[in-house]
Each structure stands twice: as structure tokens, then as C-alpha cells.
Amino acid sequence: VATDRVMGERRRRRPTRTGQVLSVDLIMRTCLRLIAQHGAEALSMRRLGAALGADATAIYRYFGNKDELLLAVADELIAQSLAQFEATGDWLADLRRMALLMYRTNLANPQVAILSASRVTGREHEIRAVETLLGILRGAGFDDATAVRYYHSFVDLVLSYSALDAAAQVLGPAQAEAAVSAWHGTYGKLPPEEYPNIAASTAELLSSMPDSSFRTTLDLFLSALAATR
Amino acid sequence: VATDRVMGERRRRRPTRTGQVLSVDLIMRTCLRLIAQHGAEALSMRRLGAALGADATAIYRYFGNKDELLLAVADELIAQSLAQFEATGDWLADLRRMALLMYRTNLANPQVAILSASRVTGREHEIRAVETLLGILRGAGFDDATAVRYYHSFVDLVLSYSALDAAAQVLGPAQAEAAVSAWHGTYGKLPPEEYPNIAASTAELLSSMPDSSFRTTLDLFLSALAATR
DNA sequence: ACCTGAACACCGTTCAAGT
DNA sequence: ACCTGAACACCGTTCAAGT
């Protein structure tokens, strides 16, 4: 019985049709690869099964449902962000670096970012991230209550922006095209008498709106934190 | 021919099976009601057709596809926010009020907010909102390029936070329960030696995390804008 | 002119059967 | 013990046919 637990990894599993031996880890890695290679819309249980060389329903031996699988993958993304982080002792620079790492990792896995932005996993890597961020803010000299408030704002800002930009990135070609033509076709051609402010800013609007405003917002947010310390 | 255009609203339409006469407006209202009553996951073209007493495919006479329908509904929400806004001339107060109105309207229609946060509709009310916000920022004395950058940040901040908080509000009972127990069960009971920062902040974390951080973040953001003017 | 309904190519998930 | 595959209850959308 003890052996079963300790050697869980080595339990004999029947290989699939194509000889793969399934595991939680292999499924998560394949899931991430599928999203990275073929886009978020390619992630269905059937396609994941096919990529694993297994029947889609075999995955349900390892994850209760698709949502549970994606939450596990979400904690994995936090791990990836943390792995690239090294504290420098400069709290503002550290916050900025952490924000950019989280944002970048999320944008590389948009489907997961969208699903997990508003979820608390309570898993290993999420806890480490909370501890690290609270440490940075408390180390900056904020009292406990303020550190918590700013941690909350910081993490919600980064996660909500990640989800927003991930959703934009995941739009189908037709929808992305519609956004471009809304800006160039509609906003670029409004009568100046009726829309003087848009007319005065057209060039800036057309060049700015397709890009993310995350860096601008982050910098404004961090400068406000610095000002209250 | 001219009559056809001018009196477009009064064109004779064949009633559906159940006697309803379809229109863009009726479809949008039914769509909003369906989402409000049964959640976004209940919104399928087939269900919408059923709620209209029509075949699902009849909707395609009025909206090219589901996405186009949702964009129209999203623009309706913008109209609702704008209807409650009145400029005071105090740019900071006006921005704050607009942010809170948009946030509140979105949170009252969480399912639509989630679906539309990252979309550009290019429609009537969205255009009016852009014009209004750019006007506030240019009126505050920001140059055109800066006004556009700050408009972009402002609207993305409000929309992304709306979607984040709407998604949290819309979690199933099981998932909401899981979040509570993650905070109280997991974060409330971590060993202080390993997680000193979480341990020092436990009380504040447990009381702060269930609430939205939108107001804190918005105030920090606006104070940063004020500081750069 | 407008609505209908069959059809196509998909989903996530369950469960009895196979090995 | 684990994987398979049929089956169920859905999707969005197209298009020929009906009225």
C-alpha cells in the first residue's frame, strides 16, 4: 500500500493504441504544446486525445473535466513566471519585472490566461507567488494592510489585463479583421464637426489602438504606488 | 424603392411559426433577457431562436453571425452607461464617474461584459464614448498623443477589470465555494516559517481578497494621471 | 421576402465493453 | 487497471425548399 503511494509514478499503465503511456504531466505538456502550436481554438478534448495518441476520453482518468485540466495548467504557468524571476532588492523594479513576466507567460498561453484570470487555485505555485509579492511590498516599507491592498490591486491589474489582451489575441481572423476595419474604416472617417476630439486624434488613435496599453497602465500604476510610499 | 428605405421599420415581415414578428431590436432584447436569466452559457443561436418562437436560422436574416449579434448587444450596454453620464468640467471627477458607470453597467450584465470586453464594435454608442473620453482628456490639457495613450489605458483598465470581476461573480456555486476554501482553508493555515509574509498578513488577506480591488486601482491610476498633467 | 428544416462538421462528457 | 468507442445531447452555420 505504501509502495503504491511512494512509487505512484511507476505504476504500470497500459499504453495507448499508439504506445504512449499517459500521465498528468504528459497531458499537461501536450496541452500546452497544442495551444502554442495550433492556437487556442485547437484545444478540444478530442484534439488533445489525438495529439496524445489516445482516445479523448482517456484524459478523464487524470482530470475530472476540461476545466480542472486548465486550472492545473494555469498553476504551471505561474511556476514558469516565477522560475524567471530573481529579486534585486529594488522593490519597484521587482514589481515591474514580475508583472511583465506574468503578462508575457499568460499571453503565450491565452486560452489558459482567459480561463484562470479570476480563479484562485490555492495550488503550490500560486501560493509562492503570493508570498513573493507580499514580501516585495512589505520589504518596500508598506504596512501590512497597505501591502495587502496593493498586492490585490497589482495582481488583479496584471491578471485582468492578461485576460483582456489574451482574448483579443485569440479572436478568429474574421473578428480581428473586423477590429482593424472598425478603426480604419469607421473611426478614421468620422466627420470632424460631429466628432472633433476623434478627428483631432485620428492618426494617434489608429496607430495606438491595435497595441496593448498594458505597459502604459502598469507604469502609471507603479508610479502611483511609489508616490504613496 | 425610397419608401422601402425610409419605412424600413414597417416593411411587412412574415410572422414566425408562433406569430412573433422578428426585428433587430426584438432579437437584441431577447438576447439580453436570455443572458440575464440563464447565463452566457445558455446563449446559443438555437435557444435564442426558441425564445423568439422562431427557427434558429431565421436570426441570420438580421445578424450575419453570432459574433455580430453580441457586438450589437455590447454597444447597447455602452449606451446605458453614457445615458447616466453628465460632464461637470472637473476632468478627474468626470473620468472617475465614467469609470464607475461603465463598471457598474458591466457588472449588472456580467455575461455580456465578459464576452465584449476585448471587442471593438465601431458602432454608434461606442464612438460617442470615445469622443466623450477623448474630450475630457484633451480638455484637461493633455496633448493629443498623450490623451490617446491615457484614453487607451483608461478604457482597457475599466473593461478588463469589469470582465475580471464579472467572471468572478458568475462562477458556479461549486467554484465560488472552492475560492472561499482556498483562502480560508489553504492560505489561512500555512506554516509561518515557510510563508512569513502571508502569515503576517493573513487577517488582511482573508478580509480583502473576496472584495474587488477596482476602486483602489482606479484611484491609484487617476492619481498618476493627475501627477503627470 | 422571409422562414424552415435538414444537413454538415464539430463540441464535452458518460458508460458499458474490451483487454 | 486502464483504454476504447459508441452514444448522448449539444454547438454554429449553410442552403435548398417551402410559403
Residue pLDDT, tens place only, B22-79: 999 999 999 999 988 888 888 999 999 999 999 999 999 999 999 999 999 999 999 9
Q: In whole angstroms, what is the distance from residue A135 CA to residue B13 CA?
A: 66
Output the pLDDT for position B5.
29
Region of residue A11 (left: phi > 0; alpha: psi -120 to 50; beta: else) = beta
Q: What is the mean pLDDT of residues A131-142?
A: 98
Output the pLDDT for position A67.
86
Output the pLDDT for position B206.
94
Decide: CB of B47 under 7 A of nucleic strand D: yes
Q: What is the mean pLDDT of residues A97-105?
A: 98
A-proximal residues of B, 108-167, CB under 8 Å: 117-122, 127, 130-131, 134-135, 138, 144-145, 147-150, 152-153, 156-157, 159-161, 163-165, 167
Instruction: Check if the beta carbon of residue A85 is closer than 8 Å to that of residue A98.
Output: yes
Query: What confidence tier does A12 reach under pLDDT thresholds 50, 70, 90?
Result: low
Query: What confidence tier does A19 reach under pLDDT thresholds 50, 70, 90?
Result: confident
Residue spans of chain B under pLDDT 50: 1-11
Instruction: Check if the beta carbon of residue B150 is closer than 8 Å to that of residue B139.
Output: no
The residue of chain A nearest to residue B165, with distances taken between CA atoms, is A118
Output the pLDDT for position A90.
98
Nearest to A163 among B160, B187, B223 (CB): B160
Q: What is the mean pLDDT of residues A26-54?
A: 92
Alpha-carbon distances of B48 from A96, A152, B37, B64, B183, rounded to whole Å: 45, 38, 12, 15, 38
- Is residue A10 predicted with pLDDT exceeding 60? no
- Is residue A202 predicted with pLDDT exceeding 60? yes
- Is residue A136 predicted with pLDDT exceeding 70? yes
Nearest to B183 among A120, A185, A214 (CB): A120
Chain A residues touching residue B178 (CB < 8 angstroms):
120, 122
Protein residue minimizing CA–C1' distance to C3:
B58
**pLDDT, tens digit (0-9, with 9 covering 90-100), for A176-201:** 888 888 899 999 999 999 999 999 99
Output the pLDDT for position B12.
55
Query: What confidence tier does A173 reach under pLDDT thresholds 50, 70, 90?
Result: low
Q: In whole angstroms, what is the distance from residue A1 CA to residue A5 CA?
A: 7
Q: In whole angstroms, what is the distance from residue B131 CA to residue B68 CA?
A: 23
The residue among A119, A163, A152, A128 whose CA lies nearest residue A221 is A152
Q: What is the CB-side half-sphere exposure of residue B110 using CA atoms within 13 A?
A: 14
Q: In whole angstroms, what is the distance from residue A163 CA to residue A112 CA?
A: 9
The residue of chain B nearest to residue A114, with distances taken between CA atoms, is B164
Output the pLDDT for position A3.
28
Q: Which of residues 168-207 of A touch strand D (CB under 7 A)?
A: none
Output the pLDDT for position B168.
86
Q: How far is the CA of B120 from the C1' of D19 (A)?
A: 39
Which residues neighbour B144 within 8 Å (Cβ) at sequence distance 6 or greater? A200, A201, A204, B138
The CA radius of gyration of chain A, in Å to the nearest whole number, is 22
In percent, the amount of chain B with pLDDT more than 90 equals 72
Query: What confidence tier does A38 reach under pLDDT thresholds 50, 70, 90?
Result: confident
Q: CB-based contact (8 Å) between B216 and chain A? A: yes
Q: How many CB pairs under 8 A join A and B?
A: 188
- Is residue A219 predicted with pLDDT exceeding 90? yes
